[in-house]
Amino acid sequence: MAHTAPSMTSLPSGYRAVVVGASGGLGRAFVELLEADAHCGGVTGLGRNSVPSLDVTDEPSIAAAAAVLKASGPVDLLVDATGVLHDNSMLPEKTLDSVRPTALVWSFANNAIGPLLLAKHFHSALPRRGKSVFATLSARVGSIADNRLGGWYAYRMSKAALNMALRTAAVEIARKRPDAVCLALHPGTVATPLSAPFGDDGAKTRPEEAARRLLAVIDGCDASRTGSFLAYDGTEIPW
Ligand SMILES: NC(=O)c1ccc[n+]([C@@H]2O[C@H](COP(=O)([O-])OP(=O)(O)OC[C@H]3O[C@@H](n4cnc5c(N)ncnc54)[C@H](OP(=O)(O)O)[C@@H]3O)[C@@H](O)[C@H]2O)c1
């Protein structure tokens, strides 16, 4: 690959990485960059079409995939790049009148509950000592303090819930894994299928660049930053 991959030197030499949502725009870029890192010992991409397959709305599939991965040793870095914003039957709501419970439930299942279930089943895969990372892709629009535009009820609410889930899991994981770093990350506006209906792709960040920046942020964080909500440039986003 032509990407300049950051070397994740804050992780142990030969570190093992897992990317969930590996078929997505950002997920694929994470896999390619990690594969290009000579310091990385191996990358496993998971998703609905991988073997083992993992659907974040299907807890048994998460448990089964986690068991397969854990059987061959600890996971030093898990990046959750799953998420939904629209599908064939729904677009983000512009007004209160377009709020639909089914869209809210779908968004929460995928964007908030799914990543929390990943933490549930994968936290014990993180090594007891030494830096390890559980990073989930959130979105700045999940910030309550930063919300001035309104709209996008289901996506905003589900990402705010994801942020709370991540923060709560970070507190718990720190008790047994004091060197672990749990992060909610905002990638910027990135040219992927998720953002495709909104704005000009040419004005968006390329997935490889967004993933490269986020890996640099991850590499630069130690346990003092666990439970943070960070943008692609490493700055904290208000909850
Ligand atoms: N792109 C942006 O501008 C932007 C901005 C802010 C935040 N984000 C966040 O970044 C993350 C990645 O987004 P992206 O832009 O790369 O979107 P994307 O290209 O649409 O990729 C989304 C990924 O999520 C997976 N996924 C969806 N539902 C799933 C499920 N139930 N189980 C397992 N995997 C599932 C998809 O798998 P399939 O291939 O099986 O559908 C795909 O791999 C999301 O959390 C998104 O909210 C993106």
Is there a domain that residue 239 lies in? no
Read off the pLDDT of each residue in 7-31 and give the average, rounded to a whole number.
98
Residue nearest to ligand 1 atom 7, measured at CA: 139
Instruction: Give the span between the Cα atoms of 203 and 186, in whole angstroms.
Output: 17
Residue 3 banded pLDDT, cuts 50, 70, 90:
low
Instruction: Give the span between the Cα atoms of 29 and 66, in whole angstroms.
Output: 22
Q: Is 107 in the pocket of ligand 1 (CB under 6 A)?
A: no
* % of the chain with per-residue pLDDT over 90: 96
Q: pLDDT tens across 146-187, in order?
A: 999 999 999 999 999 999 999 999 999 999 999 999 999 999
Asked if the model's pLDDT at residue 4 lies above 90, the reply is: no
User: What is the atom index within ligand 1 of the atom nearest the CA of 57?
Assistant: 31
Q: pLDDT tens across 64-109, in order?
A: 999 999 999 999 999 999 999 999 888 999 999 999 999 999 999 9
CATH of the domain at 144: 3.40.50.720
Beta bridge partners of 228: 183
Q: Number of structural domains, the chain?
A: 1
Q: Is 45 in the pocket of ligand 1 (CB under 6 A)?
A: no
Instruction: Give the span between the Cα atoms of 131 and 225, in whole angstroms.
Output: 12
Is there a domain that residue 161 lies in? yes
Is there a domain that residue 10 lies in? no
Identify the domain containing residue 115 by its residue range: 15-231
Is there a domain that residue 4 lies in? no
Is there a domain that residue 237 lies in? no
Q: What pLDDT was estimated at residue 5?
A: 78
Structure tokens at 209: 């660049």
